[in-house]
Chains A and B, each alone.
Chain A
Amino acid sequence: MVFLVSLLVIRLWYLQILKGSHFRNLSENNRIRSVYIQAPRGLIFDRKGELWASNRPAFNVELIKEDCPDEKKVLAKIEEIVELPAGSLSLNSPLSRRRRPFEPRVIMKDVSREVVAKIEARKAELPGVVIEATPTRDYLQGELGAHVTGYIREITKDQLADSKYAGYQQGELVGQFGLESHLEEMIHGVRGLKRIEVNAMGMRIGEFSSESERMGNDIHLTINSEMQRAAVEGLAGKKGAVVALDVNTGEILTMVSMPAYDPNIFTGEVKPDVWNDLINGRPSKLNNRVLQAAYPPGSVFKVITGLAGLSEKVVTPRDKVYCPGYYHFAGRNYRCHKKSGHGYVDFESALIQSCDVYYYSLATKLGIDVINSYATRLGLGAPSGLGLAHESRGLMPSTEWKRLYFKKPEDKVWYPGETLSVVIGQGATTTTPIQIAKMIAAIANGGKLLRPQLVREIRGGDNNLLQGFTPEVLSQIDFDPNVLKLVRKALVGVVNDPRGTGGRSKLKKFPDRIVAGKTGTSQVVALEARLKHEDFEDHAWFAAYAPEEAPEVAVAVLVENGGHGGTAAAPVAGMVLEKYFESRSR
């Protein structure tokens, strides 16, 4: 007896005294359910305060299983009411954990007010169906800002497992791609919390305590929406990219990748065919061609070759090369783009007319590794420094690159003939549009390689400034000022000399603003194959800055399979630059 009683008392002591607080916790968890309230995300504005992204309520149709005697019947009824094909609705189950009692499951996401009205009107026939309003994004500019902002979507399984998203709940909306993802921490806000007392059936007894949600911080972009629109207009119907930088600060004024998508579609259900269309191709609609796609730069690269040639003093500006339309090297003829040849060309006329033979002649004198060192100092072959995810580095070949990346001994050797391809921006060389813009901006500003930036300001509650803008010089390249002057003079010629290839970028509305730039037409494949398929059409490039005497803005345009740089890309650059001066003069 005494033994049994003491056994009970010892056990009670263990449960109630030693483990008491543990069990007290468990009992609190039992009865108190935390309901999180998603905070509205911070707003996104362009540099002039035009609203790019705001928040709006999204209406979800949800079903509470406990209140619904026959789920299938109710789903069929909803399909009938909103005129959907039978069997198209199903219950989304939570990703990882068990559903709690009385926790609603989403049937339809972000439905129209019309659907809400239809369902509300026949609620009596739909037991267990509720309509829940949650904040979601409204991208007011649609496709215009898609690649800059990215979009938001329900957190994925992988993201939930990622430490970057520690503390996130299943079902929360998070930024995917672009700035929405890059600045997630700043823009997401602090979710609210309601502690609700529930009974064992999960029925709400009362509210216990709550913390209100805090809206995310507002982002003010460096983007100029008018220039952005001009770029979209310029690329209409084409695939390509436009990026414009403030030459003196690195601010990105325009960042357009076409074709684009409407980020608003991700707030609802994305149908498989829509999704397939988005991810189809490489690069796909989802990819930001400004950053994520690298193309051979073509003749734009001649700016770098020329700069290297003068700086290394392998030629003088006055040295002339005779172009008969080809260049004979190592038992082979390398063609100039002009079959009949350019005759005698010096540094300036070679760049203006984009004479290949002149640069071939520099190739052997410079060698690949010297060319590589100039290109890398100008930011090629490396991420731009903007910091958005999935950026391509492009490729700037060298003897070392060949040695490291090839397996067979005969592939590891650099052949001098390959240098001839590199000097005119062909061969293995690839660059992203942002690298080209950064490079041409450095030529324009006297050798400052600036970090491209998209954010002007981040402002928190009460409009108080959390992060301002500071230009960041990644490196200062000490080019001989006289050499730079000669290069820039030649670039002015490309646009303004009657023989120049870039004349179509001239600003008709601002004839006194002199544009300087370089065209590029990069071969996708060998000439013979090109004729068979439009995908093999050349990529058109144009890189420019203006105004010539005191550069303010640089722009790089790429038109995929657009043909000649001077005809396909230069006019787009002209439109964007024109918009810059238009919006500045106001």
Chain B
Amino acid sequence: MLLIDRRIFKYFNYHLLGVAALIAICGLMVLYSAGYNPDSPGVPLGAFSINVKSAAFAKQFAFFGAGLVAMLFGMLLSSTSLHRLAIPGYILAIILLLGVALFGTVVNGSRRWFDLGGLRFQPSELVKVAIILLIARYLSRVSPPPGGFKLRDLFAPGALLLLPMALIMKQPDLGTALVVGATGAGMLLFAGVNFRTLIMLALVAAISAIPVWYSLHDYQRNRILTLINPGADPLGSGYHLNQSKIAVGSGEFLGKGYLQGTQSQLEFLPEHTTDFVFSVLAEEWGFMGCVLVVGLYATLIFQLLNMASKIRDLFGAYVIIGVATLFTFHFVTNIGMVIGVLPVVGITLPLFSYGGSSVIVCMLALGIALGIGMRRYQFGQ
């Protein structure tokens, strides 16, 4: 269990924590603006005797409090206990997903949440962590043959990935299903996949795109079509993307100034506290702000990968790579969607987007990574 050893402090990755803290601060600042309402009577900020004019900010502030607890919890878990938790965690996640499919609350047409007396909990967010642990455990036991995994080697992990993906897709929550799939696949890819197998899989994916296209919901299909031709229906399916591009583009080099973004403040931009929060940043802080935040994410991911490379414990290293993959996929697809290079799918910007489940799971994942990193001396340097 927790052993207080001076080496913990020596090996603790302060850079990672620092970058994550910077991202969180930027995120909170942008969210304050996104939720800003000048006519608001003021919302109390947690237990502090401060009132703020941004309800989203006040709630997110509380979520970050819960997130810090989750982070500390993640740091408490050693590589060994995580390894032990991998299979039960996965099974628990599947049970929760089945449970939500049966007893979940429907919000906006999808059954994603458990209602815990006012607090909503989204089990699919937890699946992200569970899948990282499970795939890491698999990879730490089955090392790829020379030249990488062949197709037959991928059946087992593939099936383990597809089960939760299918359950999440059913909710429906395409975004999270893609995150789960991409995180697992990214980890396998990192371990090494045979080049010919990769080509074959790519071909299979391309061919299966046709039946997948027809199985998509109409609104999902429209989002993809919108990406190709955004002007086709500017007030319908293209509205999100158009308004988002206007917000981003109109930020120009230095932005319109904090709290001055007309697209978000006047509510032309839908979902500007959640999935489209990056466009608020882009509008108010311009190209400079965007590059800064993209740089922070890149640094965060670099820190994670750098940390993974120093760890002798194979399971631990794969877990950190999983966390890095998770963050990469989240931040690239979210920003890609906001700036109109990827279709609109519900994927949050980690530590920026408003939402308790997202903040807590992101910080839990970072806590796990920091915990593994600071205990790396246990496996010899």
Contacts of B287 in A (CB 8 A): 12-13, 16-17
Measured between C-beta atoms, what is the minimum distance from A456 to chain B in Å?
52
The docked-state distance in angstroms from the alpha carbon of A365 to that of B291 is 99
Contact of B268 (CB < 8 Å), options: A1, A8, A22, A31: A31
Measured between C-beta atoms, what is the minimum distance from A199 to chain B in Å?
4
Contacts of B248 in A (CB 8 A): 12, 15-16, 23
Measured between C-beta atoms, what is the minimum distance from B161 to chain A in Å?
22
Q: Is B87 an interface residue (CB 8 A)?
A: no
Contacts of A25 in B (CB 8 A): 250
Measured between C-beta atoms, what is the minimum distance from A139 to chain B in Å?
43
Q: Is B262 an interface residue (CB 8 A)?
A: yes
The docked-state distance in angstroms from the alpha carbon of A349 to that of B268 is 88
Say yes or no: A4 contacts B290, CB within 8 Å.
no
**Chain B interface mostly:** helix
The docked-state distance in angstroms from the alpha carbon of A25 to that of B250 is 7
Known contacts A12-B290, A12-B291, A24 near B267 by CB under 8 Å: no
Contacts of A417 in B (CB 8 A): none
Say yes or no: A30 contacts B251, CB within 8 Å.
no
Known contacts A17-B287, A201-B267, A11 near B253 by CB under 8 Å: no
Contact of B291 (CB < 8 Å), options: A9, A15, A205: A9
Contacts of A205 in B (CB 8 A): 266
Number of inter-chain CB pairs below 8 Å: 101
Contacts of A9 in B (CB 8 A): 290-291, 294
Say yes or no: A7 contacts B341, CB within 8 Å.
yes
Say yes or no: A21 contacts B341, CB within 8 Å.
no
Q: Is B24 an interface residue (CB 8 A)?
A: no
The docked-state distance in angstroms from the alpha carbon of A197 to that of B268 is 12
The docked-state distance in angstroms from the alpha carbon of A11 to that of B335 is 10
Say yes or no: B335 contacts A27, CB within 8 Å.
no
Measured between C-beta atoms, what is the minimum distance from A507 to chain B in Å?
72
Q: Which residue of B lies closest to A27 (CB)?
A: B250
**Binary per-residue interface labels of chain B (295-329) against chain A in the complex, 1 for a CB within 8 Å, 0 otherwise:** 00110011001000000000000000000000010
Q: Is A498 an interface residue (CB 8 A)?
A: no
Known contacts A27-B262, A30-B268, A31-B262, A12 near B339 by CB under 8 Å: yes
The docked-state distance in angstroms from the alpha carbon of A12 to that of B247 is 12
Q: Is A161 an interface residue (CB 8 A)?
A: no
Contacts of B263 in A (CB 8 A): 27, 30-31
Contacts of A27 in B (CB 8 A): 246-247, 250, 262-263, 268, 283
Q: Is A5 an interface residue (CB 8 A)?
A: yes
Contacts of A124 in B (CB 8 A): none
Contact of A16 (CB < 8 Å), options: B253, B298, B328, B336: B253
Say yes or no: B249 contacts A5, CB within 8 Å.
no
**Binary per-residue interface labels of chain A (271-302) against chain B in the complex, 1 for a CB within 8 Å, 0 otherwise:** 00000000000000000000000000000000
Q: Which residue of A lies closest to B324 (CB)?
A: A1
Q: Is B67 an interface residue (CB 8 A)?
A: no
The docked-state distance in angstroms from the alpha carbon of A27 to that of B243 is 8
Contacts of B252 in A (CB 8 A): 16-17, 20-21, 24
Say yes or no: B294 contacts A20, CB within 8 Å.
no
Contacts of A525 in B (CB 8 A): none
**Chain A interface mostly:** helix
**Cβ < 8 Å to A, chain B residues 41-93:** none
Say yes or no: A23 contacts B267, CB within 8 Å.
no
Tell me the count of chain B residues lying within 8 A, CB to CB, of chain A: 35
Known contacts A8-B339, A13-B287, A31-B266, A19 near B249 by CB under 8 Å: yes
Q: Is B332 an interface residue (CB 8 A)?
A: yes
Say yes or no: A4 contacts B328, CB within 8 Å.
yes
Measured between C-beta atoms, what is the minimum distance from A316 to chain B in Å?
85
Q: Which residue of B lies closest to A5 (CB)?
A: B298
Say yes or no: A16 contacts B286, CB within 8 Å.
yes
Measured between C-beta atoms, what is the minimum distance from B140 to chain A in Å?
23
The docked-state distance in angstroms from the alpha carbon of A200 to that of B266 is 6
Q: Is B240 an interface residue (CB 8 A)?
A: no
Known contacts A15-B339, A200-B266, A205-B266, A8 near B249 by CB under 8 Å: no
Say yes or no: A4 contacts B291, CB within 8 Å.
no
Q: Is B330 an interface residue (CB 8 A)?
A: no
Contact of B253 (CB < 8 Å), options: A8, A17, A19, A31: A17
Say yes or no: A11 contacts B294, CB within 8 Å.
no
Q: Is B282 an interface residue (CB 8 A)?
A: yes
Q: Which residue of B lies closest to A30 (CB)?
A: B268
Contacts of B375 in A (CB 8 A): none
Q: Is A26 an interface residue (CB 8 A)?
A: yes
Say yes or no: B328 contacts A20, CB within 8 Å.
no
**Binary per-residue interface labels of chain B (228-263) against chain A in the complex, 1 for a CB within 8 Å, 0 otherwise:** 000000000000000101111111110000000011
Contact of A30 (CB < 8 Å), options: B253, B262, B294, B339: B262
Q: Is A198 an interface residue (CB 8 A)?
A: yes
Known contacts A8-B336, A30-B263, A23 near B294 by CB under 8 Å: no
The docked-state distance in angstroms from the alpha carbon of A25 to that of B339 is 17
Say yes or no: A23 contacts B246, CB within 8 Å.
yes
Say yes or no: A8 contacts B332, CB within 8 Å.
yes
The docked-state distance in angstroms from the alpha carbon of A13 to that of B247 is 14
The docked-state distance in angstroms from the alpha carbon of A24 to that of B262 is 10
Measured between C-beta atoms, what is the minimum distance from B19 to chain A in Å?
14
The docked-state distance in angstroms from the alpha carbon of A1 to that of B268 is 33
Measured between C-beta atoms, what is the minimum distance from B102 to chain A in Å?
38
Say yes or no: A24 contacts B294, CB within 8 Å.
no
Say yes or no: A197 contacts B266, CB within 8 Å.
yes
Measured between C-beta atoms, what is the minimum distance from B88 to chain A in Å?
33
Contacts of B298 in A (CB 8 A): 1, 5
The docked-state distance in angstroms from the alpha carbon of A31 to that of B339 is 21
Measured between C-beta atoms, what is the minimum distance from B266 to chain A in Å?
4
The docked-state distance in angstroms from the alpha carbon of A200 to that of B269 is 8
Contacts of B301 in A (CB 8 A): 1
Measured between C-beta atoms, what is the minimum distance from A30 to chain B in Å?
5
The docked-state distance in angstroms from the alpha carbon of A200 to that of B248 is 17
Say yes or no: B267 contacts A200, CB within 8 Å.
yes
Q: Which residue of B lies closest to A31 (CB)?
A: B262
Contact of B294 (CB < 8 Å), options: A5, A16, A17, A197: A5
Say yes or no: A20 contacts B262, CB within 8 Å.
no
Q: Which residue of B lies closest to A24 (CB)?
A: B250
Contacts of A8 in B (CB 8 A): 294, 332, 335-336, 339
Measured between C-beta atoms, what is the minimum distance from A438 to chain B in Å?
59
Contacts of B341 in A (CB 8 A): 7, 11
Measured between C-beta atoms, what is the minimum distance from A66 to chain B in Å?
15
Contacts of A7 in B (CB 8 A): 341
Say yes or no: A26 contacts B246, CB within 8 Å.
yes
Contacts of B291 in A (CB 8 A): 9, 12
The docked-state distance in angstroms from the alpha carbon of A4 to that of B342 is 12
Known contacts A7-B341, A8-B336, A15 near B267 by CB under 8 Å: no
Extra pairs beyond A15-B245, A17-B253 (6, CB < 8 Å): A5-B297, A8-B336, A16-B251, A23-B246, A197-B266, A199-B266
What are 8 A-B contacts with C-beta separation under 8 Å?
A8-B339, A12-B248, A20-B250, A27-B246, A27-B250, A27-B262, A27-B263, A30-B263
B: residues with CB less than 8 A from A are: 243, 245-253, 262-263, 266-269, 282-283, 286-287, 290-291, 294, 297-298, 301-302, 305, 328, 332, 335-336, 339-341
Top 8 A-B pairs ranked by shortest CB distance? A23-B249, A20-B252, A27-B250, A199-B266, A200-B267, A24-B250, A16-B287, A23-B250
